[in-house]
């Protein structure tokens, strides 16, 4: 059974938040859901921000490998980099980092009732298929780009092959 997740990050806790704009996302912390998330699950990457226009969905894809415990791949501060953390390998299809799907946009969709909209503090939240699809529709309307610069396969083709 495919599940859908929102994986949250706080760039204030990263030593180099600029990496989000220049390097592919290869994995993400799944603390608290490491026994629930699995290969093929859909993921939305949500970034916290004091600026409402930058708070929201910055990328989307799916889990490409079994969750495991390890060290973050350069995304955390020194303390986080030296702490074993449950994380999942990801295959990200869409990046919309310079023009994220904002909370204002999400309020007008099926995503409006998701727990993350109220600024909770966990690192991961479940979402329904309807919420995931609403987010993907908005990402498509933003004209996201894939990293690296090579064009990504159409979502339906990519989703069935990863």
- The pTM of the whole model exceeds 0.85: no
Predicted confidence (pLDDT) at residue 62 exceeds the cutoff of 80: yes
Q: What is the torsional sign of CA 45, 7, 123, 20? A: negative
- Give 69-86 pLDDT, tens digit per residue: 876 555 556 666 677 889
**Cα–Cα distance between 121 and 124 in angstroms, integer?**
9
* Alpha helix stretches (DSSP H) within 31-153: 78-81, 103-106, 129-142
- Give 75-118 pLDDT, tens digit per residue: 556 666 677 889 898 998 888 877 889 999 999 999 999 999 88
* Domain ranges for the chain: 4-157
For domain 4-157, which architecture applies? Roll (3.10)
């Amino acid at each position: 059974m495919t599940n859908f997740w929102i994986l949250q990050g706080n760039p204030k806790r990263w030593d180099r938040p600029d990496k989000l704009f220049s390097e592919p996302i290869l994995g993400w912390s799944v603390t608290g859901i490491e026994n629930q998330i699995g290969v093929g699950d859909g993921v939305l990457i949500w970034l916290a921000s004091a600026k409402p226009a930058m708070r929201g969905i910055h990328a989307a894809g799916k889990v490409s490998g079994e969750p495991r415990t390890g060290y973050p791949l350069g995304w955390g501060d020194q303390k986080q980099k030296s702490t074993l953390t449950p994380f999942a390998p990801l295959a990200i299809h869409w990046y919309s980092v310079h023009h994220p799907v904002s909370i204002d946009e999400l309020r007008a969709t099926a995503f409006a009732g998701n727990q993350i909209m109220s600024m909770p503090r966990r690192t991961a939240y479940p979402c329904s298929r309807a919420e995931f699809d609403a987010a993907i529709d908005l990402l498509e309307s933003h004209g996201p780009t894939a990293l690296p610069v090579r064009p990504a396969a159409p979502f339906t083709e990519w989703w069935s092959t990863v």
